[in-house]
Amino acid sequence: MSKALEGIKIIDFTHVQAGPACTQLLAWFGADVIKVERPGSGDVTRSQLRDIPDADALYFIMLNSNKRSITLNTKTPEGKEVLEKLIRESDVMVENFGPGALDRMGFTWEHIMELNPKMILASVKGFSEGHHYEDLKVYENVAQCAGGAASTSGWWDGPPTVSGAALGDSNTGMHLAIGILTALRARDKDGKGQKVAVSMQDSVLNLCRVKLRDQQRLDRIGYLEEYPQYPHGEFSDVVPRGGNAGGGGQPGWVLKCKGWETDPNAYIYFTIQGHAWAPICDAIGKPEWKNDPDYMTAEARQPHIKEIFATIEAWLGDKTKYEAVNILRKFDIPCSPVLSMKEIAADASLRESGTIVEVEHKQRGKYLTVGSPIKFSDMDVEVTGSPLLGEHTDEILTELGYDNEKIASMHKAGAV
Ligand code: COA
């Protein structure tokens, strides 16, 4: 089966997570992604958080599948020449170096345009161009703090809290992938390349837009009725941390199930969506609440919300999270067990859909990774192992027209 992005050649000048997550996605969909890495060391994640001595770390292999790897010291004249050749032949170059690093290497936008006016240069930076923090280097949690996620996550009496989800890194990579595909579409029409820039702060903020909504509601009316602070607590003039309350306006909470005393994940998330109120009352054995004016509407329920959750929790006391969800699903009530990574890794449905896949790696043998979260009716997405450092150096140099003698001399000079 042919892949949608076959024929698109991408120079993957990325490292750590944000850039590699983007290019891995494009590689899954068929692009020829050539990872350019520094000779000797490569992407820092190859050796970060290693669980097997001397083998590429899971961090690297879970973000760099389906790619080829060439080592290139782009600060040497020969390395620069190879990169120039690659730029002439490629469609896209993706980079997430620190601010100004590509320019310092001699690959300014003007120079790239001279080499290939059809090139799409896609960059991730911590902050957008012209931002007063544009000079800063940025990692995941820094971005979560700068993008509004940390100030609005966690408990109201605790510090700002970052999420376990890679809102700054992989999320930014996904935004960049959308930008690249859009620029490719534009190039189909006008034949011209362009720069695509995504900042980590902006990508986090894009996922926090409901919190900016809440800031404006707070400014206008002084309270937020779906937050735990309402109606009994205090509001200041900034959006507070709401614990596990639902961000979309439906009151929800994480509730204890049987076994919570020993199992840190024996919980379900329970949402009291307006339309589900009557079925909830039936499911938890409180049919009298259905027509009680103190409980009938969302507004009437809000002052009793803690008592309602306590009642549901009492009902959950003798049920495991799976038993509870199996009952609640029959009543069409939005809910889910809180799943641990161990449970997710073993989930048969996720294996079947290709969301969790087992992949073979040359050094490590089999490992689990997250496959494509995007499914197509007309394209299979196969995840293959990540390349070893420089595994395809000679192959790619040969494709660029270098002969064996020249390749050997470049190795000797440390340029590749
Ligand atoms: N050959 C020669 N030099 C290379 C090279 C290669 N193949 N690959 C990288 N380098 C050089 C760069 O040119 C740069 O040199 P310079 O500083 O002398 O100009 C140097 O390596 C360091 O690059 P840099 O990206 O600044 O790495 P860092 O380890 O200091 O910082 C980050 C890492 C992630 C903080 C930084 O890259 C960054 O802020 N990136 C943008 C935001 C981002 O993507 N964050 C990470 C999300 S997972």
For 205-254, the pLDDT digits (tens) are 999 999 999 999 999 999 998 888 888 789 999 999 999 997 666 789 99
CA distance 241 to 218: 13
The neighbouring-strand residues paired with 125 are 199
Residue (of 84, 110, 65, 96) closest to 372 by Cα position: 65
At CB < 8 A and 24+ separation, what contacts does 153-156 make?
Answer: 153/241, 154/241, 154/243, 155/241, 155/243, 156/228, 156/229, 156/233, 156/240, 156/241, 156/242, 156/243
Angular region, 39: left φ>0, alpha ψ -120 to 50, beta rest: beta
The string of pLDDT tens digits covering residues 252-305 is 999 999 999 999 999 999 998 788 899 999 999 999 999 999 999 988 888 888
Task: Determine the distance separating the centroid of ligand 1 and the alpha carbon of 9, expressed in angstroms.
Answer: 22
Look at residue 104 in the predicted model and tell me its pLDDT.
96
pTM of the entire predicted model: 0.96
Ligand 1 pocket, residues with Cβ under 6 angstroms: 16-19, 36, 38, 72-75, 96-98, 101, 104-105, 124-126, 137-139, 169
The ligand 1 atom nearest the CA atom of 71: 7
Task: Determine the distance separating the centroid of ligand 1 and the alpha carbon of 25, expressed in angstroms.
Answer: 21
Amino acid sitting at position 254:
V
The ligand 1 atom nearest the CA atom of 72: 7
Supply the angle between the helices 200-207 and 209-221 in degrees, to the nearest 10.
60
Look at residue 228 in the predicted model and tell me its pLDDT.
86
The string of pLDDT tens digits covering residues 31-79 is 999 999 999 999 999 999 999 999 999 999 999 999 999 999 999 999 9
Look at residue 137 in the predicted model and tell me its pLDDT.
96
Q: Which helix (H) or strand (E) holds 109?
A: helix 109-115
Look at residue 80 in the predicted model and tell me its pLDDT.
97
- Degrees (nearest 5) of the Cα angle 409, 410, 412? 65
The neighbouring-strand residues paired with 195 are 121
Look at residue 303 in the predicted model and tell me its pLDDT.
86
Q: Are strands 9-13 and 252-256 parallel, antiparallel or unpaired?
A: unpaired
Task: Determine the distance separating the centroid of ligand 1 and the alpha carbon of 100, expressed in angstroms.
Answer: 9
Among the listed ranges 91-100, 134-143, 297-306, which one has the minimum average pLDDT value?
297-306
pLDDT, mean of residues 159-181: 98
Look at residue 233 in the predicted model and tell me its pLDDT.
80
Q: What whole-number percentage of the chain has pLDDT above 70?
A: 99
Residue 113 pLDDT class (50, 70, 90 cuts)? very high
Residue 340 has pLDDT above 80, yes or no: yes
Nearest Cα residue to atom 36 of ligand 1 = 98
Nearest Cα residue to atom 17 of ligand 1 = 101
Residue 203 has pLDDT above 80, yes or no: yes
**Ligand 1 mutation target, pool 137, 145, 393, most atoms within 8 A of CB:** 137
Task: Determine the distance separating the centroid of ligand 1 and the alpha carbon of 393, expressed in angstroms.
Answer: 21
**Ligand 1 mutation target, pool 97, 137, 416, most atoms within 8 A of CB:** 97
Task: Determine the distance separating the centroid of ligand 1 and the alpha carbon of 40, expressed in angstroms.
Answer: 16
Look at residue 244 in the predicted model and tell me its pLDDT.
93
The ligand 1 atom nearest the CA atom of 19: 44
Q: What whole-number percentage of the chain has pLDDT above 90?
A: 92
CA distance 380 to 383: 10
Nearest Cα residue to atom 1 of ligand 1 = 73
- Structure tokens that stand for 73 in this block: 């010291």
Q: Which of 169, 202, 263, 403 is catalytic?
A: 169
SS (H, E, C) 16-31: CCHHHHHHHHHHHCCC
pLDDT, mean of residues 315-324: 98
Task: Determine the distance separating the centroid of ligand 1 and the alpha carbon of 235, expressed in angstroms.
Answer: 42
Residue 1 has pLDDT above 80, yes or no: no
Task: Determine the distance separating the centroid of ligand 1 and the alpha carbon of 20, expressed in angstroms.
Answer: 13
CA distance 38 to 325: 50
Find all residues with CB under 8 Å of 113, minimum gap 6, and list them. 119, 193
Segments of 22-167 assigned E as strands: 32-37, 68-71, 92-95, 120-125
Nearest Cα residue to atom 28 of ligand 1 = 98
In the residue annotation, 91 being an active-site residue is answered as: no
Residue 248: exposed, middle, or buried by beta-carbon count in 10 A (0-12, 13-18, 19+)? exposed
pLDDT, mean of residues 23-34: 98
Nearest Cα residue to atom 7 of ligand 1 = 38
What separation in angstroms does the CA of 123 have from each of 74, 109, 380? 17, 11, 28
The ligand 1 atom nearest the CA atom of 13: 8
Nearest Cα residue to atom 35 of ligand 1 = 137
Look at residue 225 in the predicted model and tell me its pLDDT.
87
